[in-house]
Amino acid sequence: MSFTTALRPLSPDATAFASTLPTTDTTPQQLATLSLSAPTAQTSAAIQEQHRCAAAIVNEDLIMQTIRAKVLPNPFFISRDKASEICRLTGINTEELLTRLIPIAKEFARPLIFKYQVGVAGLGKSGNIYLGVNLEFLGTQLPYTVHGEQFLIVNARNHDETELTAIAISAAPCGYCRQFLNEIGKSATFKILIQPVSNLQTLLPHSFGPQDLGITGGLLTPDQVKEESDGSIDTEAKLAASRSYAPYTNCPSGVAIKCKGGTIYSGSYLENAAFNPTLSPIQTAVVALVCANRRYDEINEVLLAQKPDATVCHISMTNEILRSIAPNAVAKPGLVAL
């Protein structure tokens, strides 16, 4: 999907910022001038159209350069203030910004099997923007894939977002992702910026979700865990488990990944009413690691925490994904009392 942006006069701030952007054959000032130039009344209709098309292309190029300069090298979380600044500099609105973030998100996808890159951008009620990408793990089962929309929800949840108002996707969400998004619950009323603009109720009629099983919350319902961490991998894994969304099995679990340098990234178990779109804690922990722009070969140690008597066990999937992305890491699946 794409939005057509009318050519707008660049603000003084935008013109000044353009002078800092790297260019190739054309300077930012020339780009700005060309994007605003208007053909004279004597110019033929064909020349006018050529000028208009050229100005539109240059204007879009300048917009994308501005966005990239503001969100890279790590675009996964864009604060409300930064999003507002980008919109002010470029003259686009927030939904137009979401669609322009899709190709940037796709650059960070890690689809090691099929090589098909997915990019997703979501706007939270907070005004913050979250990106999502797809992850595939070579040599594992296809159901271990993390879809772009799943990644987005985990990313938003990790930033304590409680509601989404719009998401933009590189392609219409698959049925699997529609079911996963439905687990947000009653607050899943966000716009889906495809062509034409849609919503989950339209894309997933007669849905089955948490409300059908008597669950009042959802994936983005705030958790009540406020415990402090001592920074150890054991504690981080336990805290991740306590932040699980596991209303159907009551089997919370968490994974903590310790990288070179000592930084720890954790992930919580997230269930779905339909079971299959459920995300294991190793998948959500990898999402946190990717959001930090860390490489898989930086993983040193991994700990899984789950109940000793859990009816759902994540040891097998944890080991299989680790063999794929970090075969030299020390895996310590622990049956920890939670």
**Burial profile 37-67: b = 16 or more Cβ within 10 angstroms, e = fewer:** eeeeeeeeeeeeeebeeebeebbbebbebbb
| Contact by Cβ (8 Å): 128, 159 | yes
The sheet carrying 299-306 orders its strands as: 264-268, 253-259, 299-306, 330-335
Alpha helices in the chain (DSSP H): 12-18, 28-36, 45-71, 80-90, 94-106, 148-158, 175-182, 200-203, 233-242, 281-291, 315-325
Distance of alpha carbon 326 from alpha carbon 310, whole angstroms: 26
Known catalytic residues are 149
What token pair was written down for 16?
Answer: 């000044």
The residue behind tokens 């859990």 is 310
What is the largest distance, in Å, between two alpha-carbon atoms of the chain? 82
**CB neighbours (10 Å) of residue 288?**
22
Letter for the amino acid at 96? E
Distance of alpha carbon 190 from alpha carbon 198, whole angstroms: 9
